[in-house]
């Protein structure tokens, strides 16, 4: 019988919600508890919105990372991912003229995360976390639209969403995230890896 697989765990949320901070802490905590775990980051498509389509046409999409990702999961390594297909779809479809369904299409069939934790933070609270507004996509109105797109994505019951109140202290958020992750690692090990948005 094959060994137990690792879990695919994703952190999502608007800018400054604390994803990077929490991914790092989660990986550390899981390692300390004896789990085989690795952090993964796809090329950050949220900063290259305008280039998204040409990137796909030039085959620079994250798809090339898939074989190694699947292999690691099969070998029992849990992957903690700082943003996944959801950010790409939410940020791109927040631009005028892009519809959400269309923006999801390139990523249909990607490995489905066993858990997506959405770090919920209002634009006002995010703005208090410094260096906001220096890039176009961080402008308030845009962030609000991105949040609406995430709200739409979170209505999809085929994805295991977990909303986390990201306005709590770093340690409190960390505790909640670690608990959800350990539960997911336990349940995912006996389940097949799913396909996203299929
Ligand atoms: P993201 O990756 O979602 O953009 P970061 O983890 O980079 O967010 O955090 C953005 C900023 O907010 C950093 O300066 C970080 O130290 C700070 N930060 C993260 N989490 C919290 C929190 N729970 N409370 C206060 N500040 C936080």
Closest C-alpha residue for ligand 1 atom 10: 16
Mutate to test the pocket of ligand 1, among 18, 28, 135 (most ligand atoms within 8 A of CB): 18
What is the sign, positive or negative, of the torsion defined by CA atoms of 80, 85, 86, 88? Answer: positive
Is 1 domain-assigned? no
Retrieve residue 118's tokens. 């959405």
CATH code where residue 80 lies: 3.40.50.300
Residue 56 inside a domain? The answer is yes
pLDDT value for 45: 53
C-alpha–C-alpha distance, residues 16 and 196, integer Å: 26
pLDDT number for residue 30: 98
| Number of domains composing the chain | 1
In a domain, 156, yes or no: yes
For residue 122, tell me if it sits in a domain: yes
Look-up: residue for tokens 């994803």?
A: 19
Q: Is the CB of 117 under 6 A from ligand 1?
A: no
* 140: containing domain: 8-193
Per-10-residue mean pLDDT, the chain, length 198: 85 92 98 95 55 47 75 96 92 91 91 97 83 55 90 98 98 98 96 95
The CB of 17 under 6 Å from ligand 1? The reply is yes
Q: Is 174 in the pocket of ligand 1 (CB under 6 A)?
A: no
51 is a domain residue: yes
What is this model's ipTM?
Answer: 0.99
**Per-residue model confidence (pLDDT) at position 2:** 58
Answer whether 16 contacts ligand 1 (Cβ < 6 A). yes
Cβ atoms of residues 6 and 115 within 8 Å: no
């Amino acid at each position: 019988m094959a060994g137990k697989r690792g879990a695919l765990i994703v952190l999502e949320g608007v800018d400054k919600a604390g994803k990077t901070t929490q991914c790092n802490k989660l990986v550390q905590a899981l390692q300390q508890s004896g789990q085989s775990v690795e952090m993964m980051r796809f090329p950050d498509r949220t900063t290259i919105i305008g280039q998204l389509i040409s990137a796909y046409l030039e085959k620079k999409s994250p798809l090339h990372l898939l074989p190694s990702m699947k292999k690691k999961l099969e070998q029992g390594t849990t992957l903690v991912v700082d943003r996944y297909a959801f950010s790409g779809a939410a940020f791109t479809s927040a631009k005028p003229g892009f519809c959400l369904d269309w923006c999801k299409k390139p990523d249909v069939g990607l490995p489905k995360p066993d858990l997506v934790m959405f770090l919920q933070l209002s634009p006002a609270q995010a703005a208090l976390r410094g260096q906001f507004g220096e890039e176009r996509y961080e402008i308030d109105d845009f962030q609000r639209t991105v949040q609406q797109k995430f709200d739409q994505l979170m209505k999809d019951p085929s994805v295991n969403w977990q909303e986390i109140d990201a306005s709590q202290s770093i340690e409190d958020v960390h505790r909640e995230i670690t608990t959800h992750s350990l539960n997911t690692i336990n349940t995912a090990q006996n389940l097949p890896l799913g396909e996203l948005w299929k």
